[in-house]
């Protein structure tokens, strides 16, 4: 491994498995997403009874790399195949999503979680971080440095804003965009505009976010999950306590952010598929935000029933289960074949062929990835806590707009 790469702290092992590499390129109105389905639950029960799926999920490796411009960045990597790049939410870091990411690796992806400026192992921006565009530029430099040619981009909360803006500027580098309770859309834009007039509104939102974050750890409902999540969140809490002011830059950037409409409309014109997955009990970023974003981008909304702002941390089985249903549709498989063909791949391409197409030769991200035995992995047999469905009104509106 080159001198500029160091093995980071906090490597952890979880359970898991692998089936196939799939690219998320969907046409929203045509893909049924409803779950968990009876068939999926039956499959999970059968796996649990047979002992399959009870093995360990793959290990995620945490690194701190130094870019050519000297910027230190925290990166968490694992898996093989098509890359899924995850950008975390405000005050979080990539490793907090380790349980969900390990299950996605088991489905046949390479996950790359990148800490944004002033979060995790990534140093702050020279400008102070008061402008979202600087976070987007930093993401672009990290993607280039890692040698990722094209990927699925997934962003939670603030991370959703960053990946949306990155996609608007670089649609040729993006297979699809997955927004998780993201702060893009006209509803959120109005909230920010009102906060500039009345800053107390933002203070109230911050308070609700704090309560939601505390509630994220399911102390009574699931003590085992609470222990796992507690171990992951402890380093983040210590970091915030030692340097509470380092969140000032990202907070100011949220307050100063301008309309996200232009970037969503640009994504629609570029034909990049977008899926907004959003909890219907998110009082920090209302569900109407996702609906607005999907309408503007020509995408779809998947509603997580009972989900608050950090539902994917509360239940690490939910997002992989949604992915599994989405990827199994005929439309998704046709999209995969089309995207593979665009980079010279057959639908049944090997993992080595996939990585040769989606990464630069001798890409840094490949050298950062820990070795795993793909044949020894099995998908988690855990049952998701949440149900979900596609928002039919948004699907109908997008279909009507496409037809007009």
The string of pLDDT tens digits covering residues 318-349 is 999 999 888 777 777 778 888 888 888 998 89
Coil, helix or strand at residue 176: strand
Average pLDDT of the segment spanning 166-173? 97
Pseudo-torsion of CA 279, 157, 300, 23, nearest 10°? -110
Q: Which of 80-84, 184-188, 206-210, 382-386 has the lowest mean pLDDT?
A: 206-210
Q: Which of 133-147, 154-168, 341-355, 356-370 has the lowest mean pLDDT?
A: 341-355
How many degrees, rounded to 5, is the angle at CA 238 between CA 220 and CA 63? 105
Let me know: does 379 contact 19? Beta carbons within 8 Å. yes
Coil, helix or strand at residue 310: coil
Does the pLDDT of residue 350 top 70, yes or no? yes
Average pLDDT of the segment spanning 278-305? 95
Q: How far apart are CA 262 and CA 20, in angstroms?
A: 35
Q: Alpha carbon 231 to chain centroid distance?
A: 21
Q: How many domains is the chain built from?
A: 1
Does the pLDDT of residue 374 top 50, yes or no? yes
What Å distances lie between residue 206 and 57, 214, 299, CA to CA? Answer: 34, 12, 28
**pLDDT over 90 for what percent of the chain?**
47
Does the pLDDT of residue 284 top 70, yes or no? yes
Confidence category of residue 15, pLDDT binned at 50, 70, 90: very low
Tell which wins on pLDDT, 28 or 299: 299
Does the pLDDT of residue 375 top 90, yes or no? no
> Across-strand partners of 149?
none
CATH number at residue 250: 3.40.50.1820
User: What's the confidence (pLDDT) of residue 378?
Assistant: 67
CA R_g for the chain: 20
User: What's the confidence (pLDDT) of residue 57?
Assistant: 73
Tell which wins on pLDDT, 281 or 53: 281
> Across-strand partners of 62?
76
User: What's the confidence (pLDDT) of residue 20?
Assistant: 31
How many degrees, rounded to 5, is the angle at CA 320 between CA 213 and CA 376? 120
DSSP state of 7: E
Please name the residues in contact with 89: beta carbons below 8 A apart, sequence gap of 6 or more: 156, 157, 158, 159, 181, 310
Average pLDDT of the segment spanning 304-312? 92
Please name the residues in contact with 388: beta carbons below 8 A apart, sequence gap of 6 or more: 33, 34, 35, 277, 302, 303, 304, 305, 318, 322
| Start-to-end C-alpha separation, the chain | 54
User: What's the confidence (pLDDT) of residue 192?
Assistant: 87
Q: How far apart are CA 44 and CA 128, in angstroms?
A: 48
Does the pLDDT of residue 48 top 50, yes or no? no
Q: How far apart are CA 124 and CA 120, in angstroms?
A: 10
For the segment 203-214, what is each residue's pLDDT rounded down to a tens digit? Answer: 666 666 656 655
Average pLDDT of the segment spanning 255-267? 92
Does the pLDDT of residue 363 top 80, yes or no? yes
For the segment 106-131, what is each residue's pLDDT rounded down to a tens digit? Answer: 888 999 999 999 888 899 888 766 78
Burial class, 296, CB count within 10 angstroms (exposed 0-12 / middle 13-18 / buried 19+): buried
User: What's the confidence (pLDDT) of residue 39?
Assistant: 43
Q: What range does the domain containing 307 cover? A: 5-403
Average pLDDT of the segment spanning 361-385? 84
pTM of the model: 0.81
Let me know: does 324 contact 34? Beta carbons within 8 Å. no
Average pLDDT of the segment spanning 376-381? 69
User: What's the confidence (pLDDT) of residue 12?
Assistant: 33
- Sign of the CA dihedral running 98, 100, 103, 104: negative
C-alpha closest to that of 8 among 73, 82, 52, 79: 73
User: What's the confidence (pLDDT) of residue 277?
Assistant: 98
Coil, helix or strand at residue 55: coil
Does the pLDDT of residue 268 top 50, yes or no? yes
Does the pLDDT of residue 229 top 70, yes or no? no
């Amino acid at each position: 491994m080159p001198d500029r790469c160091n093995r980071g702290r906090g490597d952890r092992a979880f359970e898991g498995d692998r089936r196939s590499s799939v690219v998320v390129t969907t046409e929203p109105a045509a893909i049924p997403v409803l779950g968990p389905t009876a068939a999926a639950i039956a499959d999970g029960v059968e796996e649990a009874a047979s002992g399959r799926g009870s093995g360990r999920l793959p290990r995620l490796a945490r690194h701190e790399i130094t870019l050519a411009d000297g910027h230190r960045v925290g990166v968490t990597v694992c898996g093989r195949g098509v890359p899924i790049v995850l950008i975390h939410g405000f005050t979080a870091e990539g490793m907090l999503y380790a349980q969900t990411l390990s299950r996605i690796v088991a489905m046949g992806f390479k996950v790359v979680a990148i800490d944004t400026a002033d979060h995790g192992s990534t140093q702050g921006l020279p400008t102070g971080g008061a402008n979202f565009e600087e976070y987007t530029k930093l993401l672009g430099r990290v993607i280039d440095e890692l040698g990722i040619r094209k990927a699925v981009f997934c962003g939670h909360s603030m991370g959703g804003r960053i990946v949306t803006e990155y996609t608007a500027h670089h649609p040729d580098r993006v297979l699809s965009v997955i927004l998780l309770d993201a702060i893009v859309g006209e509803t959120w834009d109005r909230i920010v505009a009102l906060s500039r007039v009345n800053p107390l509104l933002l203070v109230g939102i911050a308070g609700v976010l704090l309560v939601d974050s505390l509630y994220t750890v399911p102390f009574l409902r699931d003590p085992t999950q609470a222990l796992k999540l507690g171990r992951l969140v402890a380093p983040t809490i210590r970091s915030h306590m030692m340097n509470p002011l380092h969140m000032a830059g990202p907070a100011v950037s949220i307050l100063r952010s301008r309309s996200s409409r232009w970037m969503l409309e640009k994504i629609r014109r570029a034909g990049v598929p977008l899926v907004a997955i959003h909890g219907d009990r998110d009082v920090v970023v209302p569900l109407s935000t996702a609906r607005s974003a999907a309408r503007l981008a020509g995408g779809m909304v998947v509603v997580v029933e009972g989900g608050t702002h950090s539902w994917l941390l509360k239940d690490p089985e939910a997002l992989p289960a949604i992915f599994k249903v989405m990827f199994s549709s005929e439309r998704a498989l046709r999209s995969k074949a089309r995207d593979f063909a665009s980079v010279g791949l057959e639908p049944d391409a090997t993992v080595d062929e996939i990585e040769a197409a989606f990464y630069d030769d001798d890409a840094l991200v490949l050298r950062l990835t820990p070795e795993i035995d793909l044949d020894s992995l099995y998908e988690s047999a855990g049952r998701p806590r949440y149900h979900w469905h596609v928002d039919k009104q948004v699907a109908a509106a997008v279909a009507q707009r496409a037809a007009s």
